Structures are given as structure tokens and as C-alpha cells.
């Protein structure tokens, strides 16, 4: 039974937030507070600077509408499944290495290949086995230590969004960051314009104009600092999209000199990342939980067929009691018992 104890679910699983969802309130405050200050102390006075058709009201309306748009992008990026890979209820038994097992083996002797190779665009790519999720991760997938989930096309875990950024919400994250940059430029420009109007009127020097409207000065400083952050992110992620990379891949593999098997050209990369249809979630968060049907235990030696030690394959019996990532496999051979037990751990 798959459990995501760290996620936060609302409205019957329609909204899925990360474990640090409370940080989302800080991000909202950092957006709403300066815009409210702008509307009250700057845009309200600019209404009467453009007399033709009351065009000055557009400055106030644009600020409010565009802020709502930015907040919606933030909300969508934070409240949707980023691309969580379903956990397995048991390890892939077909991949266990039995070759070196003997009757005296300890529970730690159950082994899985740590790495497999799959083909991507005709080039072999290594994928790792995740001990926590008990699956081989798809290409470009990584296990988030904060959300405790494997996420497809994992980019990073964003504390400002309070959610992993992956295959299903990266587009909205990029639009949020780039739109926030434009909002900073807009507020900065309109605040500077208001200072200019003050200087053309009763306050001929910059100092007198800023002294008359300290809110404009505070907004210009705030937007200038914020633009270094969100503007830098916009430029960085534009580069990542154009080369079809993720933040995780860029920081981890840029010194390896390995070829980028996902790069299909700038236009195709943008088409794939920004404009392609978002795949549906692999998990049904609103579905009823189905209890697993457990295999009946083997209660006699006659139920066990000889397998690796000179005979046909054994019937794997015993108690397959899975709670989280715990797997118990009991096998009997001749007059001895082999107990093999693995526990889920941290992601490799």
C-alpha cells in the first residue's frame, strides 16, 4: 500500500502540497505587500497624470490583475503533483542476485543491481535503484530527501514554492519566476515615473521628490534587489530549457563532460518543456485504498520445491508482510532455513 506521509492533501486530494507548504505564505506576502504599497502610495497618484480617457487608471488595474496572475501561477506550481513516481509494494524479485547465496547467508545478502542501463535516443543511460521506493528510477528521475518521493524530471525542491519542481509543474514554476521578474520591472518603472512627475511639478530635485514619496524609494530598492533574484532565475532557467537540462543535472553533471542525450535543439527543447501537453499523474490520489492480497504462508516442507541448489525453482512462501518498505521472504531448503530480509532506506 503506497503512502505519502509527507505530502499535504486538501479538498479530497485535488490539491497536493509539499511538506513545507507554510513557506508558501511567505512567498505570497513578499509579492502582495509591495504591490499593495504600490497601489496605495504610487499608482493612486498616477491616475490623474494621464488625462486622456482616464488612462492613468490602467496603471492601477494592470498592477492588480497581473499580481493575481502571478499568484495563480505560484498556486498551481505549488498545488499539483510534480511527477511523483508510484512506489512498489515489494522489490523487483526478478532482479535479485541469488548466485552467491548459501544456507549461511545473513539477511543483508539480498542484493539488487544498484544500476541498470536503458536506452535514451539511442544512447545508454544509467538508472539507479531507489531503496525507499523500491523501483528503478526512470531517466532524469531523482529522490527528493524533503518530500521523500521519487520525482520525474526532478529539477529541484523549491522552498519558496514549498514543493518539488518536476515534470508536471516545471512549466508553471518557470512562468511564475519570469512573470515575477516582469512585475518587478513594472513596479520599479512606474515608481520611477512617479518620481519624475514630482520633479516636473513642485519638487524640482531628486532628493525633494524622494522625500515627498519615500514609498517610491522603498519600492525601487525592493524591486531592484528582487530582480537580481527572480531575474537571475529567469535567465538561468531559460538557459536550462534551451539546452534541455534540469538544475539537478546542471549542478551534478556539468563537470563530468558527459553528452546531453536530451538536447534536441533550442526550439524543440522549448516545445517539449513549455508547450507540450503535460502528462497525467501516475497516481490516483482520490482513489480508494485497496488492501493487498497476501500470499498464504508455506506451512510445511513439502510445499517448497527445490530451486537454486540443484532442482526446479522454489515456491517463495512465507509471510509477505509489507509495512512501508519492509519485505520478508522465507525459503526452506532441505533441513535448513534461509531468511532473507531487506528494509527500505534512504535513496541512493
At 40-51, the pLDDT tens digits run 999 998 887 777
Closest CA to 223 of 34, 9, 27, 36: 34
So what's the pLDDT on residue 320?
37
So what's the pLDDT on residue 202?
85
So what's the pLDDT on residue 335?
41
Task: Decide if 207 is inside a domain.
Answer: yes
Average confidence (pLDDT) over 191-207: 91
* CB distance 18 to 163 below 8 Å: yes
Which structural domain, as residue segments, surrounds residue 159? 8-92+112-275
Closest CA to 141 of 154, 155, 160, 124: 154
Share of the chain above pLDDT 90, in %: 47
Task: Decide if 301 is inside a domain.
Answer: no
Task: Decide if 310 is inside a domain.
Answer: no
pLDDT in tens, 204-215: 899 999 999 999
Task: Decide if 295 is inside a domain.
Answer: no
Residue 230: band (very low, low, confident or very high) from pLDDT cuts 50, 70, 90: very high
The whole-chain average pLDDT of the chain stands at: 79
Task: Decide if 341 is inside a domain.
Answer: no
Cα–Cα distance list, 163 to 33, 83, 213 (Å): 22, 11, 38
Using the predicted structure, report yes or no on whether residue 340 has a pLDDT greater than 70: no
Residue 291: band (very low, low, confident or very high) from pLDDT cuts 50, 70, 90: low
So what's the pLDDT on residue 124?
82
pTM across the whole model: 0.77
Task: Decide if 124 is inside a domain.
Answer: yes
Q: Active-site residue numbers?
A: 158
Using the predicted structure, report yes or no on whether residue 172 has a pLDDT greater than 90: yes
Higher pLDDT, 285 or 2: 285
Which range is least confidently modeled, 15-29, 114-128, 165-179?
Answer: 114-128
DSSP state of 108: G
Using the predicted structure, report yes or no on whether residue 281 has a pLDDT greater than 70: yes
Distance CA 109, CA 49 (A): 79
Higher pLDDT, 270 or 295: 270
Distance CA 245, CA 259 (A): 11
Domains identified in the chain, total number: 1
Residue 171: band (very low, low, confident or very high) from pLDDT cuts 50, 70, 90: very high
Using the predicted structure, report yes or no on whether residue 341 has a pLDDT greater than 50: no
Task: Decide if 228 is inside a domain.
Answer: yes
So what's the pLDDT on residue 221?
97
Task: Decide if 339 is inside a domain.
Answer: no
Beta strands in the chain (DSSP E): 8-10, 15-17, 115-120, 123-130, 135-136, 142-144, 149-151, 156-158, 163-165, 327-333, 336-342
Distance CA 13, CA 3 (A): 13
Residue 84: band (very low, low, confident or very high) from pLDDT cuts 50, 70, 90: very high
* CB distance 193 to 46 below 8 Å: yes
Neighbours of 228 (CB within 10 A): 10
Let me know if 98 is exposed, middle or buried by CB neighbors in 10 A (0-12, 13-18, 19+): middle
Q: Phi first, then psi: give them for residue 140, nearest 5 degrees.
A: 70, 10
Amino acid at each position: 500500500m503506497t503512502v505519502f506521509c509527507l505530502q499535504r492533501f486538501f479538498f479530497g486530494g485535488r490539491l497536493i502540497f509539499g511538506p513545507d507548504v507554510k513557506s508558501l505564505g511567505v512567498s505570497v506576502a513578499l509579492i502582495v505587500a509591495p504591490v499593495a504599497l504600490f497601489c496605495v502610495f504610487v499608482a493612486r497618484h498616477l491616475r490623474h497624470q494621464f488625462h486622456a480617457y482616464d488612462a492613468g487608471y490602467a496603471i492601477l488595474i494592470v498592477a492588480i490583475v497581473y499580481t493575481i496572475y502571478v499568484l495563480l501561477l505560484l498556486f498551481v506550481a505549488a498545488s499539483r503533483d510534480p511527477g511523483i513516481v508510484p512506489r512498489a509494494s515489494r522489490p523487483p524479485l526478478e532482479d535479485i542476485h541469488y548466485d552467491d547465496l548459501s544456507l549461511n547467508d545473513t539477511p543483508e545478502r539480498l542484493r539488487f543491481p544498484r544500476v541498470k542501463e536503458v536506452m535514451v535516443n539511442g544512447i545508454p543511460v544509467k538508472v539507479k535503484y531507489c531503496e525507499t521506493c523500491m523501483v528503478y528510477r526512470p531517466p532524469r528521475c531523482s529522490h527528493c530527501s524533503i518530500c521523500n518521493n521519487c520525482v520525474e524530471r526532478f529539477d529541484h525542491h523549491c522552498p519558496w514554492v514549498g514543493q518539488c519542481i518536476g515534470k508536471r509543474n516545471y512549466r508553471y514554476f518557470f512562468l511564475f519566476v519570469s512573470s515575477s521578474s516582469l512585475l518587478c520591472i513594472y513596479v520599479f518603472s512606474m515608481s520611477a515615473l512617479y518620481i519624475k512627475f514630482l520633479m516636473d511639478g513642485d519638487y524640482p530635485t531628486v532628493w525633494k521628490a524622494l522625500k515627498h514619496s519615500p514609498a517610491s524609494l522603498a519600492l525601487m530598492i525592493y524591486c531592484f534587489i528582487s530582480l537580481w533574484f527572480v531575474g537571475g532565475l529567469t535567465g538561468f532557467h531559460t538557459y536550462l530549457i534551451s539546452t534541455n537540462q534540469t538544475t539537478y543535472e546542471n549542478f551534478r553533471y556539468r563537470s563530468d563532460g558527459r553528452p546531453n542525450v536530451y538536447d534536441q535543439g533550442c526550439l524543440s527543447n522549448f516545445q517539449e518543456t513549455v508547450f507540450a501537453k503535460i502528462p497525467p499523474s501516475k497516481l490516483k490520489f482520490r482513489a480508494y485504498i485497496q488492501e493487498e492480497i497476501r500470499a498464504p504462508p508455506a506451512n510445511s516442507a513439502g510445499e517448497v520445491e527445490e530451486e537454486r541448489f540443484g532442482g526446479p525453482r522454489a515456491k517463495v512462501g512465507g509471510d509477505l508482510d509489507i509495512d512501508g518498505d519492509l519485505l520478508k521472504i522465507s525459503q526452506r531448503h532441505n533441513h535448513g532455513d534461509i531468511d532473507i530480509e531487506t528494509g527500505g532506506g534512504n535513496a541512493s
